């Protein structure tokens, strides 16, 4: 059994089984699927999230492997990913507890506790009105610049989110940023339970992330210049050099994004 709790939780749960304490938590259920439950709860007058993983079973593991997907076996993946992002200076959740019980990957029990990110809005929500109400140019540009920077830092350092969509970026201090009082938006990247960390990412994983982000931004009123700005900033090269040297990469990104769009929006 592995348990790592912040001092306040460790003191409150001293002498008790942390897995029992986590299973007894009550609050608003955000997700309840086979093998994983996510809820928001209160502790010491502060809000937290708990992700509780049960064993996924060998059938699920084998199914994922046969379809060339990396199975998520528990909360350790997210615990490590949060630490990695923080080491890279990227904003994300604050983990306050982690536990893992059992050696069998199919039946392993685990949990992760994180502070709730309060007073934030997802970029999906923030940009939802843009097709009807054209956003301020500086606001749009600053968000694109920050998304390109975050993406480059992640991928240059071997991190693939695997669910890389606008809905997983939370914008802090929305009103102040929208009023132009904050030059660089603070974006926290969340939902890291599927994140992949490698010394060097294969191109297909990078394509998956960038295409996911591109797909999620297809219908928010961006224009060709906006997408090209991202390409230039993300690649760190001129557009000519980026498309000359990385043509295959950007072709795959475009094709995958269009495929996702057809799949989600067909009919």
Residue-wise pLDDT tens digits, 173-197: 999 999 999 999 999 999 999 999 9
Q: Within 10 Å of residue 87's Cβ, how many Cβ atoms? A: 9
Q: What's the pLDDT at 1?
A: 83
pLDDT tens-digit map of 26-35: 999 998 877 7
* Inter-axis angle of helices 203-216 and 247-265, nearest 10: 50
Is 90 exceeded by the pLDDT of residue 61? no
Residue 27 phi, psi (nearest 5): 165, -160
Residue 186 and residue 207: Cα distance in Å, rounded?
25
For 117-158, give the secondary structure using H, E and C.
CCCEEEHHHHCCCCCCCCCCHHHHHHHHHHHHHHHHHHHHCC
Domains and CATH numbers, the chain: 2-115 (3.30.200.20), 120-265 (1.10.510.10)
Is 163 known to be catalytic? yes
pLDDT category at 93 given cuts 50, 70, 90 is very high
Inter-residue contact 235 to 249 (CB < 8 Å): no
Considering 17, 163, 226, 261, which one is annotated as catalytic?
Answer: 163
Inter-residue contact 192 to 86 (CB < 8 Å): no
Is 70 exceeded by the pLDDT of residue 62? no
**3-class SS of residue 1:** coil
């Amino acid at each position: 059994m592995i348990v790592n709790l912040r001092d306040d939780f460790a003191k409150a749960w001293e002498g008790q089984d942390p897995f029992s304490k986590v299973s007894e938590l009550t609050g608003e259920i955000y997700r309840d699927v086979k093998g994983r439950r996510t809820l928001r709860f209160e502790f010491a007058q502060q809000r937290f999230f708990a992700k509780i993983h049960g064993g996924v079973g060998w059938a699920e593991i084998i199914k994922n492997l046969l379809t060339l997907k990396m199975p998520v076996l528990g909360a350790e993946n997210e615990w490590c990913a949060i630490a990695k992002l923080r080491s890279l200076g990227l904003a994300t959740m604050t983990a306050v507890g982690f536990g893992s019980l059992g050696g069998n990957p199919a039946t392993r029990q685990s949990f992760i506790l994180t502070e709730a990110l309060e007073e934030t809005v997802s970029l999906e929500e923030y940009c939802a009105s843009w097709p009807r109400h054209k956003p301020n140019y500086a606001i749009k540009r600053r968000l694109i610049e920050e998304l390109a920077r975050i993406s480059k830092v992640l991928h240059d350092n071997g991190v693939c989110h695997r669910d890389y969509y606008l809905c997983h970026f939370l914008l802090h201090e929305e009103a102040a940023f929208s009023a132009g009082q904050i030059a660089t938006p603070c974006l926290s990247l969340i939902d890291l339970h599927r994140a992949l960390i490698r010394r060097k990412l294969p191109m297909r994983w990078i394509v998956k992330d960038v295409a996911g982000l591109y797909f999620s931004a297809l219908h928010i009123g961006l224009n060709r210049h906006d997408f090209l700005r991202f390409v230039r900033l993300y690649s760190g090269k001129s557009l000519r050099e980026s498309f000359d040297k990385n043509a295959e990469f950007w072709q795959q990104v475009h094709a995958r994004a269009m495929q996702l769009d057809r799949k989600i929006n067909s009919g």
